[in-house]
Amino acid sequence: MRYTLEGLDCANCAAKIERELQKIPGLENVKVNFATKKIELPEGLFTVAQETIARLEPEVSLRKDQDDGDASSKEVPLPLLVSALLFLLGFIFNEQLHNTPFSWLEYLVLLSSYALVGWPVITRALRNLVRGNVFDENFLMTLATAGAIAIHQLPEAAGVMLFYAVGEYFQEKAVNRSRRSIQALLNIQPEYANFKENGTTRRVRPDEVAVGQTIVVKPGERVPLDGEVAAGTSFVDTSALTGETTPRKLEPGDPILAGMVNGEGLLTVTVTKPYEDSSVARILDLVEKAGERKAPTEQYITAFARYYTPLVVAAAVLIAVVPPLLIPGATFNDWLYRALVLLVISCPCALVVSIPLVYFGGIGGASRHGILVKGANYLDALADAHTVVFDKTGTLTKGVFRVTEVTARNGFTPEEVLTAAAWAEVFSNHPIAHSLREAYDRAIPTDLVHDYREIPAHGISAVVAGKHVLAGNDRLMHREAIDHEDCEVQGTVVYVAVEREYAGYIVIADELREDAKAAVEGLKALGVQKVLMLTGDDTTVAARVAAQLEVDDFKAELLPEDKVTCLEEFMAGLPNRKQQKLVFVGDGVNDAPVITRADIGVAMGGLGSDAAIEAADVVLLEDAPAKLVRAIEIARWTKKLIRQNIALALAVKTFFFIQGSFGVASIWEAVFADVGVTLLAVMNASRTLRFGRRHHQHQTTASAYH
């Protein structure tokens, strides 16, 4: 069961909640997704999780999965406004009040300003202190401002707490805006279905419609459930699922998927899957869960924050205590002030808040292009792609075979050869079997086909109308010791033997995908060092395809286990195994072992395929190998923004840390180093969406001219 963590606005708090929950038996693998504020819990452990969260963060509560709402549109809190007004008065008239009998007003005005915005911070700090959680931003702000009050720097104390509160307010707005922008990319969830019953229709929730029931999709409506078109013809917009802007024509008998938008026709649809198993539900679930798989950078920053803050606090203590003891003329107040500056600077919020948002934005932006990335770790790995290995059939080629030649031998006729092959392949789902049955183009009496057996990587053995038929590749003929004189036929060839006598062969042609050449060229343009191809097909066919696409190398006539062996050899040959990654692209079903073995397994054409989505780390939702180029571009753009945020945060904090140590920077600059940099980092994180919008606009404009 998935729940929303209401009130979760702190990335450190999310990490702390996750660590504590993972200590509970049964929750060892639980993940808190700060970007979506979601958590998935077993129903039996909800109570203990709720109690643990309440103990750690009383402001955070668990609610059954729901929309977070438009949190960023909240008005400025009244205490913040009053505090700002009091601070302004105290700051302007500070000197006048300080030198008069009414100096107590200075304390009244500035400490009131301090208390209005600081009280929640102080209470959280004290509560965490009691529990042993010392080094968090609440403690640091409380300690820094208490020190400022102790040395009579009241404007600084009130100002730091006020600007910290203002920064937290704007940070929350920025984070929520980023969340809304990302979720808007995934705003493909249908709100209702037009349920048809007894000649009338009524609106119901999509999850109320059962498999086998009928719905009506009106012009302009979003398709609510996966199904099959029962009546009507229309063009549908699939861009929300696949990123493809060209409408797709649907007719009776065609599959239709939830999330598509109907054009001008009226469609009657028979539902084939319940809502929770529909394409749109699976996509939304995968994208939201993707944030739970943290990238190495994200894990490093979380660990870094746990050690960074205590080290800075220790440095601040040393700066406050040691110089007054060792340097002649040094005053304790002066060095304590410098130490307080360092405490304010030390909060690592800019990193721990912005980095999860960058990754989630990259994953959301990829989904807009019909690319499902199952986790930030895979997005990171994709950016380091060194070698890309493609399966041939169904990936670089269409996998739609056509019979182009039938040659008979030993007294058989071409009709007999085709009939024997088509009947023998009647139960096979292989594309070659489909092409044989399509060429035969007649009903096949399946009751006359017995002892059907698929021989992996070889072909079919079956008894057809009382006669034993073998249909498969050259290896099958050799395996069964069938004498045949046509070993050197070029192309994809099905050899046929009847009653162990060679009957002839059938040549089948496959076509390249339109964007296969562009995919290879695009990968090389991105700096991918090697583009390779694996296939179980004939060597001559593979050589022809490899030459057309200009891949760097290929291996043919491979059994499924041979593909895994080849892949492991390629991976072992990578110059820098830790930094360079190997990507394998296949159909997600036949290539599942290879997809699983690769650093990044990519299933192409996975829309509607459960096996493809389960097997792969990255799923391209349509049959377009060039989408892998887009996926790598998005991954590299995301990684670039991650590096920018890390460099920005560390550079600014280091600069002000040095300035504060030498007494040049004041607490005002320290506030900018903390709150200001966090805001800049969060705003930079939102740029993950610009890549998607820019490309989507370009694609839409380009399609208008065709």
Spatial strand order of the sheet with 467-472 comes to 402-408, 501-509, 492-498, 467-472, 459-464, 449-455
Distances (CA, A) of 593 to 157, 307, 567, 613: 61, 41, 11, 14
What does the alpha-carbon distance between residue 317 and residue 320 come to, in Å, rounded to a whole number? 5
Task: Of 416, 427, 432, 478, give the one whose Cα is nearest residue 451.
Answer: 427
Report helix angle 414-424 to 431-440, nearest 10: 130
Which one of the listed residues 226, 384, 391, 623 is annotated catalytic?
Answer: 391
Q: Is 334 helix (H, G, I), strand (E, B) or coil?
A: helix
- Count Cα neighbours of 480 within 13 Å in the Cβ-side half-sphere: 25
Degrees (nearest 5) of the Cα angle 89, 91, 96? Answer: 85
Q: Is 391 a catalytic residue?
A: yes
Phi, psi of 697 (to 5 degrees): -65, -40
Q: How far is CA 224 from the centre of its chain?
A: 23
Token reading at 209: 């419609």
Task: Of 610, 607, 557, 604, give the one whose Cα is nearest residue 584.
Answer: 604
What does the alpha-carbon distance between residue 585 and residue 595 come to, in Å, rounded to a whole number? 7
What does the alpha-carbon distance between residue 143 and residue 166 come to, in Å, rounded to a whole number? 19
From the number of C-beta atoms within 10 Å of its C-beta (0-12, 13-18, 19+), residue 430 rates as: middle
**DSSP character for 503?**
E
Rg (CA), the chain: 33
Strand 227-231 relative to strand 255-256, pairing: antiparallel
Task: Of 157, 165, 145, 149, give the one whose Cα is nearest residue 81.
Answer: 165
Residues marked as catalytic: 391
